[in-house]
């Protein structure tokens, strides 16, 4: 009883002095995922980083970036080692572990390659029987839509897929000729082409694979329901103030995609 009383008095004293428990949000980040996550001079920047910084400031939290490949990040959310990831597509299976705040981007995943060196692809279904691209890089753990999931069950297509664990490896594999095509967001290709990456202008979007809003996925294990609601309200406020759209416009070639808040807690 005495120990509980002393603890309570100590908490009151801290609040009286204006000292509150610090809030730190641990964010999973790859080495490089431009234009969304860019590591330059040991500092993180990019579209997702700026949006998250606005959100963290609004709720009075600090950000801590932890280098972690995508598939490991999803596991670390479940184990309580991370508080959030970016670019998370909504699915019922993920709802038990994540609160979806946003969306922060409309992801357009394309099959990307050099059209001069590949057989013509008119539709995704062509890859099920008619078109063999050899080797196609996909990100391990990524979700590319229901049509793609069904297509992966086709042996003719499945043998073309090469799973990689790191986003930044895709361009390197493509330029080295170790894969003939990749699955990537159109905004990433645009960044490559406008930042003088070797041979990037040779690559073009061939077939649209999947398009959907992506969210900041906050951990339901490490964050309270009250904090998740606070984050939801903060995102809506930033949207109403026009700060979300203003940030996105600095990074995107096309800004017609509407990021209307549709948070899923």
User: Mean pLDDT of residues grouped by 10 in the chain (265 residues)?
Assistant: 42 38 85 85 92 97 91 90 94 92 94 93 86 91 89 93 82 90 91 81 93 94 96 96 92 67 78
Contact 105, 244 (CB under 8 A): no
Task: Count the Cβ atoms, other than its own, within 10 Å of residue 192.
Answer: 23
Residue ranges of domains in the chain: 21-107+213-249, 108-211
| Domain covering 21-107+213-249 in this structure, CATH number | 3.40.190.10
Q: What is the pLDDT of residue 254?
A: 61
User: What is the DSSP annotation of 56-112?
Assistant: HHHHT-EEEEEE--HHHHHHHHHHTS-SEEEEEEP-GGGTTTEEEEEEEEEEEEEEE
Q: Give me 139's structure tokens.
A: 């990100």
CATH fold match for the domains 21-107+213-249 and 108-211: yes
Residues 108-211, CATH architecture? 3-Layer(aba) Sandwich (3.40)
pTM exceeding the 0.75 threshold for the entire prediction: yes
Chain-centre distance of CA 182, in angstroms? 17
Cβ count near 55 (within 10 Å): 24
């Amino acid at each position: 009883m005495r120990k509980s009383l002393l603890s309570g008095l100590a908490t009151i004293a801290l609040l009286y002095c204006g000292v509150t428990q610090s809030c730190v949000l641990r964010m999973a980040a790859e080495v490089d995922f431009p234009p969304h996550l860019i590591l330059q001079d040991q500092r993180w920047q990019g579209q997702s980083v700026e949006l998250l910084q606005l959100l963290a400031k609004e709720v009075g939290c600090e950000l801590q970036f932890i280098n972690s490949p995508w598939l490991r990040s999803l596991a670390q959310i479940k184990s309580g080692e991370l508080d959030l990831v970016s670019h998370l597509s909504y699915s019922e299976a993920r709802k038990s572990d994540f609160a979806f705040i946003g969306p922060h981007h409309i992801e357009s995943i394309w099959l990307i390659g050099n059209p001069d060196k590949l057989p013509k692809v008119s539709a995704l279904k062509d890859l099920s029987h008619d078109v063999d691209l050899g080797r196609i890089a996909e990100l391990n753990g990524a979700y590319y839509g229901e049509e793609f999931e069904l297509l992966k069950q086709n042996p003719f297509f499945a043998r073309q897929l090469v799973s990689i664990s790191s986003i930044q490896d895709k361009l390197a594999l493509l330029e080295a000729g170790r894969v003939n095509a990749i699955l990537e967001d159109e905004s990433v290709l645009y960044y490559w082409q406008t930042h003088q990456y070797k041979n990037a202008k040779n690559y073009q979007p061939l077939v649209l694979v999947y398009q959907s809003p992506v969210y900041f996925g906050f951990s339901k294990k490490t964050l309270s329901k009250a904090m998740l609601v606070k984050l939801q309200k903060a995102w809506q406020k930033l949207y109403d103030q026009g700060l979300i759209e203003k940030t996105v416009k600095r990074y995107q070639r096309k800004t017609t995609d509407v990021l209307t808040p549709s948070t899923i807690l």
